[in-house]
Structure 1
Amino acid sequence: MDEVPRPGRLVPLGVQHVLVMYAGTIAVPLIVAAGLGLPHRDIGALVAADLLLCGVGTLLQSAGVLRVGARLPLVIGAAYNGVVPMVLIGTEYGLPVMYGSVVAAGLVMVAFAPVFGRLLWFFLPVVVGTTITLIGITLIPAGARMVFGGEPGDPGFGAVSGIVLGGLTLVLVVLLYRFLPPPASQLSILAALVVMTAGAALTGHADFGGVGGGPVAGLPEPFHFGTPSFHPVASLSLVLVQFVLMVETAGQVLAVGEAVDRPASRRDIAAALRADGVVTALGGVFQPFVYVTFTQNIGVVSLTKVRSRWVTACAGAILVLMSVFPVIGRVVAAVPGPVLGGATLVMFATVAVIGLRMLANARGDTAGLVIVAVSLGVGLVPMALPGAYDRFPQWAQLFLDSGVAVGTVTAVLLNLLFHHPPPLRRERPEQEAA
């Protein structure tokens, strides 16, 4: 993990991570801006600030500063879980209160990081395997939506051209990974994206016309939406979201530890949570979003076997560069959605396979089977039946709509029930001796 590849390999490997995470991290600014009805100028400011903090957070997680950052090949991106509460707060209380709530959520995460790290013994293999499997499975629809053009009923959904592009990209990733020599095969995802984007451009399915439609360079503007202010009720809703994200980050740190054959410790988890919290708190200055350690890049680490944390650190530096030179971001944004979706489908499924591998190595008794079955069943409800919890209060929906959080908590509680039962009665000394 501490090896620094030569620049000729370091930069392409870093770009590969950026391409895999870019669609996920850039979608949040667009969704929040649409929900708040922000003008185009503000959307550009949100995207620039988002890329800056994604880059800073990724550098923290990969390189580490003091006790902030896990020093593992991890990246940080904007969290989807924060979108709905942020839009609700911004609509009801205004943007300064919304960003005050973001600061409060980040500081709470930093404060609770050591406490959460000490709870590692709750996350036994049967629990962690369930969590990581849920993360991978719940991400797969995001890749499928890019390939198929959104949801049923959307304009252009199910277009044959998009499905063909996505399918060919997936096939090309597999073929390159199979037939290229080992050093080159580690760049199979990047190579497939470049080849298929070029093919899409030649056939008229990629548009690079917007690349020149904006400034080449420009620094993100601090306090673009004003000085943050605080409201206790508004802050509480994002703090609740932050606790859900802490569960997800813990699972992702454990997953990458599995991928690089270095089991994550409670200090690693606490350090990763601090990085998420610090970057989220910085949102009060640069005013983007709530941040979380991303999952999709763990699939890249597992598939390519490139474990160096300096590769993801390079990805963080590229993201910072993209925030200062928005023209780079516009080039990346021109990669067709189906092409990106075809590659990310492999990455998301790889995350699920990591979880299944951990479950295969966990204890195989009937109790373990019940824990996994019930937890997966409960955790997959929000994905299988969107809107299932719409009649619940808003605060409850924040938790219930996160299948990963619900499934993880279920697995923890069932594991305590089956494998750590409380004493029902005090045993006599001779029984204890026996």
Structure 2
Amino acid sequence: MAGGPAVTTDPGAPDASDPLLTGEGPPPLRRLVPLALQHVLAMAATPVSTAFLMASALRLTTAQTASLLAAVLVLSGAGSVLQSLGGWSFGARLPFVMLPGGAATALFLQIAHDRGPAVASGSVLLAAVLLLAVTPCYGRVVRLFPPLVTGVTVLLVGVSMVRVTAQLLIGPGGAAQPGALAAAGLTVGITLAARLLLRGAWRQCAVLVGLLGGTAVVLATGLGVFAPATASGGSLPRLLPYGTPEFDLPAALPLLLFGLTSLAEATGQTALVSERADLARDVPRVARADALVSLVSGILGAPPMVTSSENIGINRLTGVRSRHVTATAGGLLIAAGLCAPLSRLVAGLPAAVVAGAALVVYAMITVMGVELLGRTLLGDSPDALVVGLALTVGLLPVVAPALYSGAPGWVRTVLGSGVVAGTLTAVLLNTLCSAVPTVARRSTASAGRV
């Protein structure tokens, strides 16, 4: 009897046609919602902690905090839907989520601290416009920001914001109150315990667990108070909460540089999330979606929004690569942001608890910078000298804030920001060191022909 070889089927093997695995077509609703909730759990800590960090730094009322939280949640959800579903060259149509960038938030607060929140909002708008403008030149721009440069930038952002957060704990009296220090320390401890002991999506929500657990302990011990916003204060997103945005190009430099470096990060994320991605096509679409949502973010008083790697680990762990899952997660975040009672309740978290969570967030940003630099340093190579000099230039205004006080205004703005000074130094020195071997090889080749 003629016939081909027998085909055996493993009943335990995943179905290769499953839309959750292939990313093609919407999966059944009964599977879609639980998977989307898993992404929401992994994402939620970032917008919540961002809103409260900004509220503490900008001394916002509880009603303003609730409004800002609603805005950040809605923006995160809308950005996730845009990146996942795409349209008109905005969004890569890949399973991405969008969140307020940790480094971007730090830079926003730095500008707000130095020049006021209206200037910070204007800087968000300028950075978004610049990102839209450079996406056609993606290939040329991204070469200026290899891991060496982005590592310097991220490390300096983390160090600078740990200093700013410590100043928030000090308060107007010039010295931190013991109760505030205890509340912040408890929050850090609970966050660390959650990170060590929890698993899966809950582990990724360690910051959120720290915020809620720290609040519970602080209230129980009398170290803080819970003061949610009143219903009359409103908690929906507000247009221009800090007044008309002000445009100051030198002050906006930190966020302008961040917008350019985000192209390098988007490249790595796009390669990780899909083996079939066309980087030349998809990365500019990712960047355009970031820029579009950031334009709205500047109008709502929030920091720049960026496509995040928060969900990539979940995609890898579960094998689920459906963009419909991340789009649904975005829809759930929008619903949470428009739920006014939720925003008002969360806005009442004690300031010291938020400061403790912020210290954890910026400590992780600092470590991310170290990891990026660890990929590039090779003993006594020129890269080590470039990093050392860039970090020195970037740390000077952190350790000696009055160093440039006698310099002209534009010099104080550029060199007085450790992030800007360090990043510019890294770009210039890296470009110079990359060009030197080329010159040396040409000289050697010319000598060989003589």
Instruction: Report the TM-score, using the length of structure 2 for normalisation.
Output: 0.69
Question: Is this contact kept in 2: 1:277–1:291, CA < 8 A?
Answer: no
Q: Rate the CA distance shift 1:11–1:142 in 2: closer, same or farther, 3 A.
A: same
Answering whether residue 137 of structure 2 is matched by residue 125 of structure 1, we say no
Structure 1 partner of 2:435: 420
Give the one of 225, 230, 243 matched to 2:256: 243
Aligned residues: 408
Mapped partners of 1:43, 1:194: distance in 2 = 16
Deviations 1:140-199 (A, max 9, x none): 2344345xx245xx2384222222222222222223333335564344333332222112
Give the one of 357, 360, 365 matched to 1:343: 357
Mapped partners of 1:136, 1:62: distance in 2 = 29
Question: Is this contact kept in 1: 2:66–2:347, CA < 8 A?
Answer: no
Q: Please give the secondary structure, in 2, of the residue aligned with 1:75.
A: strand
Deviation at 1:414, TM superposition (A): 1.2
Structure 1 partner of 2:404: 389
Q: Rate the CA distance shift 1:27–1:174 in 2: closer, same or farther, 3 A.
A: closer
Structure 1 partner of 2:366: 352
Q: Rate the CA distance shift 1:280–1:174 in 2: closer, same or farther, 3 A.
A: closer
**Max radius of gyration: which structure?**
2
Q: Rate the CA distance shift 1:329–1:301 in 2: closer, same or farther, 3 A.
A: farther
Structure 2 partner of 1:193: 211
Alignment of 1:137-176 (within 5 A): 137-146=159-168, 149-150=169-170, 154-155=172-173, 157-176=175-194
Q: Rate the CA distance shift 1:100–1:215 in 2: closer, same or farther, 3 A.
A: closer
Deviation at 1:282, TM superposition (A): 3.4
Give the one of 401, 423, 443 matched to 1:408: 423
**Aligned-residue CA RMSD in angstroms?**
4.8
Q: Please give the secondary structure, in 2, of the residue aligned with 1:214.
A: helix
Question: Is this contact kept in 1: 2:76–2:333, CA < 8 A?
Answer: yes
Mapped partners of 1:59, 1:382: distance in 2 = 40
Give the one of 10, 28, 41 matched to 1:12: 41
Structure 2 partner of 1:37: none
Deviation at 1:376, TM superposition (A): 0.7
Question: Is this contact kept in 2: 1:61–1:73, CA < 8 A?
Answer: yes
Question: Is this contact kept in 1: 2:76–2:330, CA < 8 A?
Answer: yes
Answering whether residue 386 of structure 2 is matched by residue 362 of structure 1, we say no
1:133 maps to a residue whose letter is L
Q: Which deviates the most, 322-331 or 159-168?
A: 322-331
Deviation at 1:373, TM superposition (A): 0.6
Mapped partners of 1:65, 1:201: distance in 2 = 47
Structure 1 partner of 2:300: 288
2:52 maps to a residue whose letter is A
Q: Rate the CA distance shift 1:55–1:45 in 2: closer, same or farther, 3 A.
A: same
Deviation at 1:377, TM superposition (A): 0.8
Q: Please give the secondary structure, in 1, of the residue aligned with 2:225.
A: coil
Q: Which deviates the most, 305-314 or 63-72?
A: 305-314
Deviations 1:233-276 (A, max 9, x none): x5756775653332453465478679989999576664454234
Q: Rate the CA distance shift 1:278–1:415 in 2: closer, same or farther, 3 A.
A: same
Mapped partners of 2:314, 2:390: distance in 1 = 27
Question: Is this contact kept in 1: 2:241–2:300, CA < 8 A?
Answer: no
Deviation at 1:42, TM superposition (A): 8.7
Structure 1 partner of 2:131: 109
Structure 1 regions of 5+ residues with no counterpart?
A: 35-39, 91-97
2:159 maps to a residue whose letter is I
Structure 2 regions of 5+ residues with no counterpart?
A: 1-19, 24-31
Deviation at 1:291, TM superposition (A): 4.1
Structure 2 partner of 1:328: 342
Structure 1 partner of 2:232: 214
Q: Percent same amino acid among aligned pairs? A: 26
Q: Rate the CA distance shift 1:223–1:216 in 2: closer, same or farther, 3 A.
A: closer
Mapped partners of 1:181, 1:51: distance in 2 = 24
Deviation at 1:62, TM superposition (A): 6.6
Mapped partners of 1:391, 1:264: distance in 2 = 50
